[in-house]
Structure 1
Amino acid sequence: MWQANRFFVVAALGLLSQGAIAASPAAAPATDGRIRAQLMSRAAVTISSELPAKIARLPLEEGAAFSKGQTLVEFDCSTYRAQMNKAQASLDAAQQLVKVNTRLAELNSIGALELTQAQGKAKESAAELSYMRSTVQKCVIVAPFAGRVAKRTAAPYQYLNTGMAVMDIVDSGPLELRMLVPSRWLAWLKPGQRFTVQVDELGRSFPASIVRLGARIDPVSQSIAASGRIEAQDAALLPGMSGWATFAVPK
């Protein structure tokens, strides 16, 4: 019985010591000035349908580059355009009725009520036309910035309901480095601080600098978010890559 208890105590102490070793990097992070960092786009957006319609044209494949204002998605909106033309015709008729009733009111041939009703109908038709124009404008989705297609989740001729995703796009501008640094580094780490980052996927190092620091310290990990930017433009750098950021920590 004593041997069994002794084995249990030794095993438990062994597990505790292993846990302490595993936790030691978190308890004292970045003692050598090295921090894990990840490359991320400054803007990553999911393009979704704003109306129920069938995709008429989806010109870009995954990985394709596009410029700001370029068409990303075009929907088949023949029904919505027909409704817009109908609203335009209703507005034209309502405005003509207002003109006629205004003239008749000047001749005292109709009362003020008939004129007011005609004017109200014209305003209603104008609002309907404005709504349909806004709807038709959603039939074409253009790029909000220059970038690349990260993922396509829909296909040409597919019918989409409102809110369904079409594609994910990322900004093609300079990538940002996101990392968590020890909060004690705030004594010397400021925007503009230079460092180097070695990207694992490329096996190369790049000069970089801090562009901003987070606004809140995590009380559990005693860390704060930091964003940096690689100073060199390199087409080989892609969002999602990661590596080690190395800082010169003051003694």
Structure 2
Amino acid sequence: MRFRPLFGWVLLVTAAGAATAAPTAVANASDGRIRVQLMARNAVTLSSEVAARIASLSMQEGSSFKRGQALVEFDCSSYRAQLRKAQAALEAATQLAKVNAQLAQLNSTGALEVAQAQGKAKEAAAEASYVQTIVDKCVISAPFNGRVARRIAAAHQYVNQGSPILDIVDSGALEVRMLVPSKWLSTLKLGSRFSVAVDELGASFPARIERLGAQIDPVSQSILAVGVIDGNASSLLPGMSGWASFK
């Protein structure tokens, strides 16, 4: 299969890892080449969900980790103290509700007192559950297997809620993203094979189209195409770029 587009298109990548197409002709690609960008399937910034001091942060740039591994731990002694207080209040409210229910059976208390005690027990349960969710956020675990791209915070540093701590990327197969002319859709299909010449390595890798974009850019008359590298490509890193050849 041979493609002869009129133009090649640049792929711009935002800091969050999202791909954005720019309708800018960069070269005469009549030889069937398109500019590509290699990207991780998942690239996220881990942020603090609590305001606390970082107790443990051993990960450095380039460090590898497994899914579920603890990456960041916060000093949440004050939150845990609040949780114990809330749990004690829940236990007391639950016992009071039970006593009032028993007294009601003996006609020693009214329905209002029973309802109030049950309401306080539910309120205490909600408070304990709320504080528990805060304590659960005192450890940030890895959402996937990957590597640390950038460390923003440091151990013993106090961070506010929402403060970024680590940029991480998926260590799985990289995606090859490119913008191709929409006229290619008549021949470019899922599974179409091509080669990727990576600038940084001076080497080429076999690849195939995995999926196509959902809509055509009406200005540039281009569409996103995403491929994957076939075989072992451990030398490739997110952010590398090069040329895809469909010759």
TM-score with structure 2 setting the length: 0.88
Measured after TM superposition, the shift of residue 131 of structure 1 is 0.3
Measured after TM superposition, the shift of residue 223 of structure 1 is 1.4
State how 1:1-251 maps to structure 2 within 5 Å: 26=25, 30-248=29-247
Q: Secondary structure at the match of 1:215?
A: coil
Instruction: Show the counterpart of 2:16.
Output: none
Q: Distance in 2 between matches of 1:154 and 1:242?
A: 29
- For 1:215, the aligned partner's letter is A
**Structure 1: gaps spanning 5 or more residues:** 1-24
Q: Distance in 2 between matches of 1:163 and 1:48?
A: 5
> Which structure features the higher share of helix residues?
1
Deviation digits for residues 116-160 of structure 1, max 9, x if unmatched? 111111000000000011110000010000000000100011111
- For 1:105, the aligned partner's letter is A
Q: Secondary structure at the match of 1:218?
A: coil
Q: Distance in 2 between matches of 1:88 and 1:156?
A: 30
Q: Distance in 2 between matches of 1:170 and 1:28?
A: 30
- For 1:217, the aligned partner's letter is I
Deviation beyond 2 Å, 4+ runs, structure 1: 25-30
Measured after TM superposition, the shift of residue 104 of structure 1 is 1.2
Measured after TM superposition, the shift of residue 33 of structure 1 is 0.4
Q: Distance in 1 between matches of 2:241 and 2:86?
A: 54
**Structure 2: gaps spanning 5 or more residues:** 1-23
Q: Which has the larger radius of gyration?
A: 1
Conserved 8 A contact 1:26-1:221 = no
Deviation digits for residues 210-231 of structure 1, max 9, x if unmatched? 0111112222222111101110
Measured after TM superposition, the shift of residue 242 of structure 1 is 0.7
Equivalent residue pairs, number: 224
- For 2:170, the aligned partner's letter is D
Which deviates more from structure 2 when the two are superposed, residues 217-226 or residues 34-43?
Answer: 217-226
Measured after TM superposition, the shift of residue 190 of structure 1 is 0.6
Q: Distance in 1 between matches of 2:208 and 2:236?
A: 16
What's the Cα RMSD here? 1.4
Measured after TM superposition, the shift of residue 198 of structure 1 is 0.7
Measured after TM superposition, the shift of residue 28 of structure 1 is 8.4
